[in-house]
Amino acid sequence: MIYNPECECMEPGARQKLQLANLKNLVETLYEKVPFYRARMDALGVRAADIHSLADIEKLPFTTKDDLRELYPHGLLACPKDRIVEVHMSSGTTGKPVVDEYTRKDIDIWRECMARTLAGGGCTKDDIVQNCYGYGLFTGGPGAHYGALAIGAEVLPMSSGNTARQLMVMRDFGSTMLTCTPSYALYMAEEAEAAGIDPRELPLCKGCFGAEPWSENMRKEIESRYGMKAHDVYGLTEIIGPGVSFECEAQRGLHINEDHFYPEIIDPESGRRLPMGERGELVFTTLTKEGTPLLRYRTRDITYFMDQPCSCGRTTIRMHRLFGRTDDMLIIRGVNVFPSQIEHALFEIEGTEPAYLIVVDRGAARLDEVELQVEVKQEFFSDETKGLENLRTKIQNMMKSKLQITVRVKLVEPKTIERSIGKAKRVIDNRKL
């Protein structure tokens, strides 16, 4: 279902006109209201009057996560403080969190984007949405909640954790749609199976999963474990939260809500814009936000755009599912590899469980060494060493042939790698880089 055909299926030329008008307004507002942006624009000698086309966006300055941290908590506010009605923050592991301050209109935009997102995942007013994204300062819970309400679905605001209760509610209330991180979806399936519940017998038949990197093979695992259709949803606190882009039923890339978030792909080294289809760093300008709008925000997320028509009828451009982040790309003895590529390869191998951990060290010869800890089905541990040895070799060969990296594989018993109810931690990098 398309939530807002007028906007989502708009002729691209008409959409670009709107984008340009909103971009000019934004540049004017930021120059007037946010001293940080005024100083940046003055330094580059650029003003709203210099923006004649969308391509002129290149004249404007970037914004980085470091800028946001320096301006914490209110340095990017572009409207009077008393117009703010809600605040969210990301739980960064280092330094100050990044903050999004929403006006009432910003919440309306978010609700609309999340309604489009859930509708893209098949949600209708008849659905019962079990929302297991965290509620609180994290944007996941409230974002999915607003979207489901806009559609008129019934929401179960579960938040994350307390898995036994999640399963009870899932069964007793007949939830038809699941929203949470993909790693938590798999964890719940595992716990259901352990409790003697077959997740495929539950009424759940669709889900919108995101907030962390996941692979195509992980999607297949979730879809087959539950017998459901699993859709990818992307977003980040700085831009609005979840709902920046989402998959439709075609599951061929994520439609960007580009009437609200103007997307670019740049070369992360030079900062230059890359042509359609080339892979690089994703950058967003918020075209319609009032509270804390951002100009050319460098997300550090890596993807590429697709502008071929989509079978669903939406005309918005799509981004490929994320490959990873510029800051989580591992460079192993000179070879670039994202954890999600390791995950994708791992899921191809029969006998492994969907839980793994990548531990990177700098070894004695000052060379990078990777230990890949992988959970293995219980049968392998009972049937002595030969099966385990074969599996270990198979994984090692797969990593070498598919990703050109040499890994030491440590096979571990089921349920020994820590599970996550939110964003999973997949990498421990002990190198002092």
Q: How many residues make up the chain in this entry?
A: 433
Q: Which tokens hold the place of 23?
A: 């971009």
Judged by CB under 6 A, the stretch of 52-60, 204-212, 357-365, 375-383 that binds ligand DLL is: 204-212
Q: Cβ(254)–Cβ(319) under 8 Å? A: yes
246 interacts with ligand DLL by CB under 6 A: no
- Minimum distance from residue 90 beta carbon to ligand DLL (Å): 4
Helix (H/G/I), strand (E/B), else coil: 203: coil
211 interacts with ligand DLL by CB under 6 A: yes
Task: Tell me the C-alpha distance between 41 and 45, whole Å.
Answer: 6
425 interacts with ligand DLL by CB under 6 A: no
Find where tokens 């925000």 sit.
297
299 interacts with ligand DLL by CB under 6 A: yes
Q: Cβ(286)–Cβ(19) under 8 Å? A: no
131 interacts with ligand DLL by CB under 6 A: no
343 interacts with ligand DLL by CB under 6 A: no
How far are the Cα atoms of 189, 230, 239, 416, 420 from residue 167, in angstroms, in the given order? 9, 18, 33, 22, 16
Among 325, 362, 425, 431, binds ligand DLL (CB under 6 A): 325
233 interacts with ligand DLL by CB under 6 A: yes
Among 301, 353, 368, 375, binds ligand DLL (CB under 6 A): 301
322 interacts with ligand DLL by CB under 6 A: yes
Judged by CB under 6 A, the stretch of 40-48, 52-60, 151-159, 207-215 that binds ligand DLL is: 207-215
DSSP-assigned letters across all residues of 395-426: HHHHHHHHH---EEEEEE-TT-SPP-SSS---
Task: Tell me the C-alpha distance between 302 and 295, whole Å.
Answer: 18
- Scanning 195-279, the segments in alpha helix (DSSP H) are 216-226
Strand 297-303 versus strand 229-236 pairing type: unpaired
291 interacts with ligand DLL by CB under 6 A: no
178 interacts with ligand DLL by CB under 6 A: no
341 interacts with ligand DLL by CB under 6 A: no
Show Cβ contacts of residue 59 under 8 Å, excluding neighbours closer than 6 positions.
44, 46, 50, 51
Q: Is the dihedral of CA 51, 54, 59, 63 positive or negative?
A: positive
326 interacts with ligand DLL by CB under 6 A: no
Q: Under rule CB under 6 A, how many of the chain's residues touch ligand DLL?
A: 20
By beta-carbon proximity to ligand DLL, the closer residue of 281 and 369 is 281
315 interacts with ligand DLL by CB under 6 A: no
Among 121, 122, 213, 291, binds ligand DLL (CB under 6 A): 213
90 interacts with ligand DLL by CB under 6 A: yes
Task: Tell me the C-alpha distance between 347 and 60, whole Å.
Answer: 43
121 interacts with ligand DLL by CB under 6 A: no
263 interacts with ligand DLL by CB under 6 A: no
Among 212, 216, 223, 361, binds ligand DLL (CB under 6 A): 212
List contacts with ligand DLL (CB under 6 A): 90, 133, 139-140, 210-213, 232-237, 241-242, 299, 301, 322, 325
